[in-house]
Amino acid sequence: MRLKDVLFLSVALLAAHAFAQEFRGRIQGTVTDTSQASIAGATVTIVNAGTRVATTRQTNEAGHYLFDLVEPGTYAVAIEFPGFSRFVQENVLLQQRADVTVNATLKAGDLKETVTVTAEASAVQFNTGKLETTVDSKLTGSMPQLYRTPFLLAQLDPAVEKDDYQSEYMPYHSWGPNHQQVGGGQNYTADLQVDGAPVGIGYKTAYVPSPDMVQEVNVQENAVDAEYGHSAGSAISLTLKSGTNEWHGTAFYQGQYPWANALEDRVYRTVNLGRNHIYGGTLGHPILKNKLFNFVAYEGWKQTDPSTLIETLPTDLERAGNFSQSLNNDGGLRTIYDPWSTQTSADGKTVTRTPFPGNIIPGDRLDSVAVGYTQQLWKPNSAGIGPYHVNNYSTSLPIRFPYKNFSDRADYHVNDKLRVSGRFSMFKTPVTSSNPTGSTYFVSDRGSDRDAKSITGDVTYTMSARTVVNVRGEYHSFVDQSHYPSQFSVDGWSKIFPNNDFFKLVFADPSVPIQLPRMSITGTDGYSRNFNMGPGGGYWHQVPTSNSFDAKIAQQRGSHYLKAGFETRGNQSPQGIVLSNPGFGFDARPTSATYVNPNTLVSGDGFATFLIGAIAPTNGSPSDWDSSATSMPVINFLNPSTRFYSGFLNDDWKVTRNLTVNLGLRYEYEQAWREEKDRSVRPLDLTVPIPEFQGAGAPKIPDVVKQFYNGPTIFNGAFQFSDSKNRGQWDAGSGTWSPRIGAAYRINDKTSVRAAYGRYVTPWLTGTSDFNNLTTPGYTNYTGAPPMVQGVPQMHLANPFPASYPVAPAYQKALGPYTQLGDGSTYYQLNRPRQNSDRFNFSVQRQLPSGMVLDVTYYINRSSFIFDSTRNVNMIDPNITYKYKDAVNQQVDNPFYNILPVEKFPGPLRYQQTVSILSLMRPYPQYGDLWVIDGEPGGNMKYQSLQIKLQRNFSRGFSFLLGYNYHFEQDHRYFNDIAQYDKQYTWIDSPSSRQRLSMAGTWEIPFGKGRHYLSGAPRILDALVGGWNLTPLITWRSGRYMQFGGAVVTGNPRISNPDHNQWFNTSVFAPLPAYTPRTNPWLYSGLTGPGMLNIDASLVKGFHITERLKFDLRMDSFNVLNSITWADPDTNIYSSTFGTSTDILSNTHGRRTQLGLRVEF
C-alpha cells in the first residue's frame, strides 16, 4: 500500500473525508404495565449476541425507547423497572436498515424474576412507510452465485429487473452491478452501497465485495427517509461481516471444469471451455474482547470465460468477387451493382445503376487494400442460416480473468459513547483474450485492466441517552482500461496505405494505442455486424476516483425522533475514450439497386461494397461505441470532476402507540461537470451572428431550395468553451427540494398498513449521459465517410481521406467561436433540467404462522426525462421529404464549399463541392445536426405494479423469499420523425415483460446430527444421510413485447404456434415505400417474445469434525434443467433473419456445474 493510502485510511477512521448513507438499523418499542399504562424511566439494554457489547437507554414519558445506528445482528433486549419483573426478549434479528419493534408488558413483581421470550421478534414494519426487501444472512451465504456479484441478489426482490442485454456481470466488471432497474426507470440510477458507503462513480461501480464477505443484501424501492437520496429513489446495499468475540473463519475452493458442463450454446454446438478455480477464506476475531474486532477476507480466481465468437463470413466465391451463386432473401440472385455507375435524372425522380456483368466483380475493380485483408480472413466452419449463410462461423473465444479481491474491516467500541470502524478493500484483474481464428488480422478488444481500491471510516458518538452524532468517510478509486493483446505500428499503416499519411493525426498522442486498421462489414439490415477485421469496440482509459463526507445528528424529543444531516460527494474521472477504433465500415447500400430507400434484402452486399473499396456513410455514427462506421478519431485525455451537496431534516413522529408518521425534506445541489483545465464545452450560442456571414458576406443559398422550403435560414452560432468564470458544461441552478412523507399504522401485533410518497432527483452523474465519457467537441473529433453524391461514393479505400477530404484535427480552443462550423455538435441544455422520480407505495403486512411475513404492495413510479429528451435543434422537417419525395435528391453547388479559411470553417461541409438541396433546408444550414442533451421537456414514464412478497427468515432449518411482480409501464416517446420534429410525445406501452416471479430458499434437510430426524444416528449413518442442505433459486419472467420499425402491415402478425424458426407472421410486413411516414404500431397486443424460466441450485453435504470444525462438500448447478432460452426474434424487416431467433438469450447458457469444498471453524 502506498503511503498516501495509509494516511488516508487513518484519516478515514476519524471520519474526516468521506460520505455514506445509513445501513444500520433501529430497535424501538413501548413499555407498559398490565393495564396498558406507560412506564417512564424503565431501563432498556440491548446486547449483541456476537460481540457482547451492551447499550442502555431509558424510556421517555410515553414509555417509548429507541436505539438508533445499531449494527445489524442478533440481539437480546432486557427491560427492567423497580416493582416489576425483568423482561428479556431474545433472538431479536436486526437486519440492515431494519426498524424492529419490541414492545414489553411488565408484570408487577420482583426484579429477580425474569420473563424470557425466546420466540423471534415480529418482522412486521410498524414504524415506517418505506418499501424495501432484505435478503437475510443465511440465504445470502447459501445462494448459488455464478457471477459472485452480491449486488445481483437484489433480483430476489421481484421489483428488480436485470438488463438481459448486458453481458458484464462479474465483480470486476464495473458496468454490471448497476445494470438493474428497481421499481421502474433506468439502469444506473440506484445508489449502490457497501456498509452504507456509496461505491458508484457515474454509471460504473468502484468496488464489489466477494460473497463470503457479505452478511445481508438490502433493496430499497422507496426509502422515504430524507437521509436517502442521490438516486432515482432506489438503493442496493450490502452489509459486510464483522469480527466478534469468537475466532471464526472459513477456507474454500470452488471449481468450474469443462467436463462438468453441458454445451455452452446448443444452437451452434459450441463447447464450454470455461474454467474457474475460485479459492479464498475469511477470518473474524477479537483483538480486545468486547472492544476491538477484526474481519479479513480474500478471494482469488483463475478464470477462463467461455465466450463464443459468432460471425457471418463470405463464401470462397464471394471472397474472389464472384456473387453469381449468391442468393437474396426471395431466393433470386443477389445482384451487385456498381455504385460509380449511378445516374440520377435532373428532377431526382429516376435513379439507375449498372450491375456487374455476370454478378462478378472484375479483378481490376477489386480494391488493393480489400484484397490484402481478404487474404488474411478466416473461413466459415458451417453452412450458416439461409441464403446469406448467417452465423456460418462460430467458435469458443476464451477470455482469462485472474481476479484477486481483499478486504479488511475493524470495529472498535472505545466505550459506551464512542464507536469507530474502518475498512480497506481492493481487487486486481488483468484480463487477457485469445485468438481462435489463426489470423493475425483478428484482434480482440476484450483485454483490459480492472483494478479497484476502497477505504472507508465511521465514527458514532452518543452525546446523551437522547442524542447521537455520526460522521463517516470514504475514498474509492478504480482502473478500467483497455489492454490489447498486440500492438501495430505507424509503419504498418503506411504499408497498407502507401499513398497517404492521413492516420498520423490519429496517433499523434502517444497514449493512444496503435492497432491494425479496422474493417467492419454489416449485414443486410445495415446494423448487425457480419464480422470485423482489426479491433472492434473502442479504446478506453478510465481511472476515476470519488471522495465524500457525511455528518448527521439524531435526537429523540418526546414522541418525535429528529434527524438532520449534511453530505457531500466528489467525483473525478481522468479519461481517454476512443468510442470507435480507427477504421472503415461497409454495408450493402452502395452496391444495391438504388440509393433511395434501397431494399437490401434483394440486392447489394456489404462484403461486395468492401471489395470495391466504396467508402460511404453507414447507419452507425463515427462516434458510436463499437461502431461499424468509417471513423478516424482524434482525442485528448481529459479530467472532468463534479461535486454534490445535500442536507436533510427528518422526523419520525410517534403520533400514538399505533400510528407513526414519517416526515422529511431533502435539499440537493449538484455542480455541472467541469474539467481540470477548463477543457469542456458550453452550449452553442445560436443567438450570436457569424460576422463573416452577415450582409453581403452571407452564403448564397440556391433559389431552388426556396421552392421547397419556406423556413428560416439563420447564419448564427458561436461555440463556447468553459473558462474561469463559467467552468461547468451547463448552469447548475440553485438546487432542488425533495419532500418525503410516510405513515405506518399498527392494526395489531401481527398486522400493519403502510403508505409513503417520496420525490427523488436523479443525479446528473447517473442520468441521461455518462460522466466517464465526457461530451467534448473541440477536444475530440471523429471524421467519418463523406456523403455519397447522388449515390456515388466520394472516397476509395485504397486512398482514403485525401487532401480534398482530410481527417479533421481536434483543434481544442484554437478556433474559438468558429469551432464545429460545418459540422454537427452535441452539448447540454444551458439550464439543464433535473430528472425527477415520484414514488408512491401502499402496503399491507401480515405476520403469518411459522415466522412468515406476507407483504402486498401497490406501487407507482412517475419519472421525467427518461426517453427522447435529446433534441436536434437543427432538424430537417421530414414533411418536406414526404411531400416532395424524389425532388429533394437534386444536387446543387455547395454554398459553403471552401468558404472562409479552414480556421473559421473547419467542418467537413467545406470539402463537398455539391450537396443535396434537402441538406440546406435547416434553420442553421452551416451546421449539421445539433443535439442538445436534455433539451426537450418530456420523455416521461408511468409505472405501476402489484407486488406480493412472502418471506421467512432462517429458523428451524429453513428460510425462503418468494416474490411476484405484475407491472404495466407506459413511456413518453416520439411515434415517428414527424412527431419528433413537432415535439409531440405519445404514450406508448413499454416492451418490457409484464410479470416476474422469483423464489429462493435454503433448507437443512432434517436428517442427522442436530436435525429433527436421526439426530442420534451412528457416525457412519450420519455421514451418509446427515448434514445435507439444499438451496434452490427459481426465476421466471414473461416474454417481452416485440417492437417493430416502420413498415406496411396488412394483417395481424400473431400466430398460434410460434417457435424460434418463425415467431410471428412475417408475410404481413413489407418495407415502407420511399418517402412514406411510419403509421404502424410500435408493438402489438399479445405479441411477445420468449419468456424465461431458470433454475439454479446448490447442494451441500456437511461433516462435523468437531463441535467447532466443519467440513462441507458443495455442488452448484446453474440452469439445472439445461433448458434453452431463445433470444428475442429479429424484428428488423430488412434483416435476412426477420421473424426468427437465431441464438440463445444473452447471459444464458447450457448447464454449468461448480464443485467445491469448504472448511468452517
Q: What is the pLDDT of residues 729-739, one digit of tens each?
A: 999 999 999 99
Higher pLDDT, 167 or 1119: 1119
Burial of 893 (0-12, 13-18, 19+ CB in 10 A): exposed
Q: Which three cell numbers stand for residue 732?
A: 447548475
Last residue of a domain, one of 89, 117, 145: 117
Q: What is the CATH number of the domain that holds 106?
A: 2.60.40.1120
Question: Which one, of 1062, 945, 733, 716, lies nearest residue 157 by Cα?
Answer: 945
Contact 620, 527 (CB under 8 A): yes
pLDDT category at 3 given cuts 50, 70, 90 is: very low
Q: Mean of the pLDDT values across residues 679-708?
A: 95
Burial of 627 (0-12, 13-18, 19+ CB in 10 A): buried
pLDDT for the residue numbered 115: 67
User: Could you say which DSSP state residue 880 is in?
Assistant: H
Burial of 849 (0-12, 13-18, 19+ CB in 10 A): exposed
Would the pLDDT of 256 be above 80? yes
- If DSSP codes are grouped into helix, strand and coil, which group holds residue 765? helix
Contact 231, 763 (CB under 8 A): yes
Q: Which three cell numbers stand for residue 1068?
A: 404481413
**Rounded to an integer, what is the distance from CA 139 to the centroid of its chain?**
25
pLDDT for the residue numbered 355: 97
* CA 524 to each of CA 50, 257, 312, 379, 599: distance values in angstroms, whole numbers, following the listed order: 64, 39, 11, 20, 9
pLDDT category at 16 given cuts 50, 70, 90 is: very low
Would the pLDDT of 367 be above 90? yes
Q: Mean of the pLDDT values across residues 382-391?
A: 93
pLDDT tens string 886-922: 899 889 999 999 999 999 999 999 999 999 999 999 9
Instruction: Determine which of 346-350, 438-442, 670-674, 958-962 has the lowest per-residue pLDDT on average.
Output: 346-350
pLDDT for the residue numbered 12: 39
Would the pLDDT of 17 be above 50? no
Contact 639, 575 (CB under 8 A): yes
pLDDT tens string 205-244: 999 999 999 999 999 999 899 999 999 999 999 999 999 9
Neighbours of 1094 (CB within 10 A): 18
User: Could you say which DSSP state residue 688 is in?
Assistant: E
HSE on the CB side for 695, CA within 13 Å? 3
pLDDT for the residue numbered 122: 78
pLDDT for the residue numbered 770: 87
Would the pLDDT of 109 be above 80? no
If phi over 0 gives left and psi between -120 and 50 gives alpha, with beta otherwise, what is residue 60?
beta
Question: Which one, of 567, 661, 733, lies nearest residue 228 by Cα?
Answer: 567
pLDDT for the residue numbered 1: 42
Buried b / exposed e over 1047-1076, threshold 16 CB at 10 Å, is bebeeebeeeebebeebbbbeebebbeebe
Q: Which three cell numbers stand for residue 1140?
A: 426468427
Last residue of a domain, one of 68, 90, 117: 117
- Whether 72 is covered by a domain: the verdict is yes
- If DSSP codes are grouped into helix, strand and coil, which group holds residue 13? helix
Q: State the Cα–Cα distance between residues 1042 and 975, nearest whole angstrom.
A: 15
Question: Which one, of 702, 595, 605, lies nearest residue 343 by Cα?
Answer: 595
Supply φ then ψ for residue 362, to 5 degrees.
-60, 150
* Residue whose grid cell is 504498418: 492
Would the pLDDT of 750 be above 70? yes
Domain extent for 1100: 991-1160
Number of domains composing the chain:
2
- Whether 1058 is covered by a domain: the verdict is yes
Would the pLDDT of 4 be above 80? no
pLDDT category at 1046 given cuts 50, 70, 90 is: very high
pLDDT for the residue numbered 482: 92
Last residue of a domain, one of 58, 84, 117: 117
- Whether 1043 is covered by a domain: the verdict is yes
Burial of 366 (0-12, 13-18, 19+ CB in 10 A): middle
User: Could you say which DSSP state residue 177 is in?
Assistant: G
**Rounded to an integer, what is the distance from CA 906 to the centroid of its chain?**
36
Contact 642, 798 (CB under 8 A): no
- Whether 1096 is covered by a domain: the verdict is yes
Question: Which one, of 484, 550, 544, 552, lies nearest residue 518 by Cα?
Answer: 484
* CA 475 to each of CA 452, 635, 813: distance values in angstroms, whole numbers, following the listed order: 11, 29, 33
- Whether 1015 is covered by a domain: the verdict is yes
Would the pLDDT of 5 be above 50? no
pLDDT category at 114 given cuts 50, 70, 90 is: low
Mean pLDDT score across all residues of the chain: 91
Contact 286, 249 (CB under 8 A): no
Q: Which three cell numbers stand for residue 664?
A: 422529511
Largest CA distance in the chain: 109
Would the pLDDT of 640 be above 80? yes
User: Could you say which DSSP state residue 270 is in?
Assistant: B
- Whether 198 is covered by a domain: the verdict is no
* Residue whose grid cell is 464507536: 419
pLDDT for the residue numbered 119: 67
* CA 969 to each of CA 132, 184, 1081: distance values in angstroms, whole numbers, following the listed order: 21, 8, 16
- Whether 514 is covered by a domain: the verdict is no
User: Could you say which DSSP state residue 905 is in?
Assistant: S
- Whether 939 is covered by a domain: the verdict is no
Question: Which one, of 261, 389, 412, 375, lies nearest residue 315 by Cα?
Answer: 389
Sequence-ordered strand ranges (E) for 579-724 = 583-586, 614-615, 632-634, 640-654, 659-670, 674-675, 681-689, 716-721
Would the pLDDT of 370 be above 60? yes
pLDDT for the residue numbered 9: 39
pLDDT for the residue numbered 11: 38
pLDDT tens string 800-845: 999 999 999 999 999 999 999 999 999 999 999 999 999 999 999 9
Q: Which one-letter amino acid corresponds to residue 826?
A: T
Buried b / exposed e over 468-506, threshold 16 CB at 10 Å, is bbbbbbbbbbbbbbbbbeeebeeeebeebbeebebbebb
Would the pLDDT of 299 be above 70? yes
Partners of residue 682 on adjacent β-strands = 720
DSSP labels for 573-615?
A: --EEEESS-SEEEE-SGGGSS-SSS--TTTB--HHHHHHTTEE
pLDDT category at 565 given cuts 50, 70, 90 is: very high
pLDDT for the residue numbered 484: 87
